[in-house]
Amino acid sequence: MKKLALLMILLVWGGAALAASDSTGTTPGNFLKLGGGARPISLGGAFVGLADDINAVYWNPAGLTQHKAMAFTSMFNNYLAGITYTNLAFTFGDPNSPLSTGLAIDYLSAGAIDETTAGAPTGTGKTFTPTAFSLTMPFAFQIIEPLSVGVNIKAMMDKISSGEAFGYGLDLGVLWKINNEISAGFCARDLLGALMETKAALPQTNTALASNFALGMSYRLPSWKIALDYNQPSDNQGTINLGGEYNLNDTFYGRLGFSTRSETSAGGNMSAGLGLKVNIIKLDYAYTPYADLGASHRIAFSLVFPEGKPRVVTPEATSTSEAKTPAPTMVPVPAPEIKKKAVAPEPPAVVAPLVSPTEIKADVKKSFMQEAPAEEEPVVVVKKVVTKKVKVVKKKAVKKPAKKPLNR
């Protein structure tokens, strides 16, 4: 808290050093000073260091990077003396892209005014309606996670009776999120800009738009947001703006604001507002009293869509995205068929019948008498086996006792 207080004091002192001489009303395009939205007005105009919703289009375009989704708002301001001011804005951000952009339209109507001339100072019986129109294209870029920059490119038209003027403007904004609680911002509105008559009604002495340099800070708590700004316009004295917002369950909002602007017999130093959010629908109201001139009432209707999820990049996805052309598809070639040689079935085994020893002896003797070919190995094997068996038979025959003669 001590650091926050010190930074706020330096902010105010630094802004006071930029104070300019009072030259109110000498520049064109004063309708651009009314500001967009209802919530920032209910905070006393302290929004440069906060800039956390679609109203950042006007107050600090760098703040659009804080919401990575689509948002739409429509604001109607019943201002003073029959003047009405309408604001439409659409913004879009992608969690996978550092760029946020959108479009905003502002329209002001001063209502019917009686026409007077030098020859008819009480009126000619005719009326005219001064109008003003501006088209803004915001671009916000997140350089690194805590630092964002933004720019507004504006085209505008101002018409009064037979006079008509066209012009342009350029805003530059910076937002630095010091941590989750504290953020600081800077915005130079109409840093460059001019409004030049194409149909002159009165001699025009100044075509340059009035610039405004604003420094702001905000402090976030779970249920509270506090914002402090210092504004230094080029055609008026500097002002200090302070605002606070209470949040109840992300549904109900209460706001109070204060500004040091000095408007003789007009007031306008205090402001208040309410907010209601249900799902993606949001309603905001701002009330600003101006003493004898009456009060300003603003109401804004917004659609705030939820943010998408950032894309998770895997090594497989990275390697796939880096490939310039897909790898050719390999068609498998069928293997050649191998023809197996036909194998003749083995002949069935022949089981030799049992023979008597006498027959075996005769066969062996007969086989020795015949000449067998040398290459026929089976014959040799049979000879060995048979010879062994014959020897066994001879042994048994020798041991057999002779029969005794019978006694007669």
pLDDT digits (tens, 9 = 90+) for 375-390: 444 444 444 444 444 4
Q: How many CA atoms lie within 13 A of 88 on its CB side?
A: 6
Strand partners of residue 304: 71
Average pLDDT value for residue range 330-347? 58
- The answer to whether the beta carbons of residues 239 and 260 sit under 8 Å apart is yes
Q: How many helices (H) and strands (E) does the chain have?
A: 6, 16
CA distances from 27 to 191, 193, 194, 222, 404 (A): 14, 11, 9, 42, 167
pLDDT at 105: 96
* Secondary structure (DSSP) of 38-87: SHHHHTTT--TTT--STTHHHH-GGGGGG--S-EEEEEEEE-STT-EEEE
- Who contacts 271 (Cβ-Cβ below 8 Å, separation ≥6)? 41, 42, 43, 44, 243, 256, 257, 258, 259, 286, 287, 288
The crossing angle, in degrees rounded to 10, of helices 377-399 and 357-369 is: 130
Q: 157-189 pLDDT, tens per residue?
A: 999 877 889 999 999 999 999 999 999 999 999
CA distances from 15 to 64, 212, 230, 244 (A): 24, 11, 6, 21
Structural domains in the chain plus CATH codes? 2-114+126-308 (2.40.160.60)
When the pLDDT of each residue in the chain is averaged and rounded to a whole number, the result is 79
Task: Note the pTM of the prediction, 2 decimals.
Answer: 0.70
pLDDT at 78: 92
pLDDT at 265: 47
